[in-house]
Structure 1
């Protein structure tokens, strides 16, 4: 790699890291390319030599967030009994804890909207969809007769229920829930959903 390319790669990494710190501190609304450029010592216009636009910058930060979430969910899968129902509960609680500990970065994953006329790139969609494997695996163990399409629908439904509870529970303007109570409720709803799905499958 030439020195120029190496310098660009380093500045790109520094830019994404600076954007990550900004979002973590102030959310998406606080992200300003001029401030980021000043922080890493480049001209404001040079930001767009490192990323295509702000959308890409936010998606790259989201990629780093998803990588850390993936590690947390992987640990939750392994840290306990192999029972798939218990695994789903651990994954859900770990997701809740991650949201609490990384609130603005977690919110940015869902609040970001691409500029009009632009689509989310394939690489970003692939990273997002890959997270569902943490739910697919225990569901496949619970319901071996279900097709991949059926498991996909169930996984999305389960995620939507947990995500909705966490999102509302952490929304201080509405019905903020104490963290321990939220963790308990998330565990309870997942157990109830799994129990109901199991009864339906066996009926």
Structure 2
């Protein structure tokens, strides 16, 4: 790699890190090109020599968030010999805790909308889909007779239920739920859903 490319990659990483810090403190709406350029010491227009547009920059930050979430979920089930049911409970609680500890970055994953004529690039989709293995694998152990397609649907349904509880529970309005109570309710929900699925399969 040439010196010029090395400098560009270094500045590009600094830009992504600056955007990450800005989203973490201000939320997605507080991400401003002018402020980013000033923070990394370049002209406003130079930002778009480092990334194609703000969509790419936000998705790059999102990928970093997803990598840390992936590590968090892996760690949640790394200790002890857990049953698939309890592994799913641990994963759900770890997801809740990660969202609470990284609230603005977590919200940005779901608040960001691409322009109508643009598609999410494959690398970003892959980063998102990788996370479903944490749910898919315990479900496959619980329901070995189900097809991959059926397991995929169940995994997405379980995620949607937990995500909905987390999103509403962490909302800083009337529906807010204290974190310890939210963690307990999420565990109850996941156990109830799995018990219901097992009972229906039987």
What TM-score range do you get, normalising by the shorter chain?
over 0.9
2:42: which partner in 1? 42
Q: Normalising to structure 2: TM-score of the pair?
A: 0.99
Look up the match of 1:148: 148
Partner Cα separation in structure 2 for residue 53 and residue 116 of structure 1: 15
Matched, 1:195 2:195: yes
C-alpha distance in structure 2 between counterparts of 1:197 and 1:118, whole Å: 38
Unaligned ranges ≥5, structure 1: none
1:56 aligned to 2:56?
A: yes
RMSD: 0.7
Match of 1:17 in 2: 17
> Tell me, which stretches of 5 or more residues in structure 2 are unaligned?
none
Q: Which runs of 4+ in 1 moved over 2 A?
A: 79-82
Quick one: distance in 2 between partners of 1:159 and 1:85? Answer: 14
Is the CA contact 1:16–1:57 (under 8 Å) kept in the aligned structure 2?
yes
Give 1:78 shift.
Answer: 1.5
Alignment deviations for residues 101-126 of structure 1 (CA, whole Å, 9 cap, x no partner): 00000000000000231111111111
TM (normalized to structure 1)?
0.98
Q: Count matched residues.
A: 202
Say which SS state the counterpart of residue 78 (structure 1) adopts: coil
- 1:53-108 per-residue CA deviation (whole Å, 9 max, x = no partner) reads 00000000000000000000001121233210000000000000000000000000
Question: Aligned partners of 2:116 and 2:200: how far apart in 1?
Answer: 43
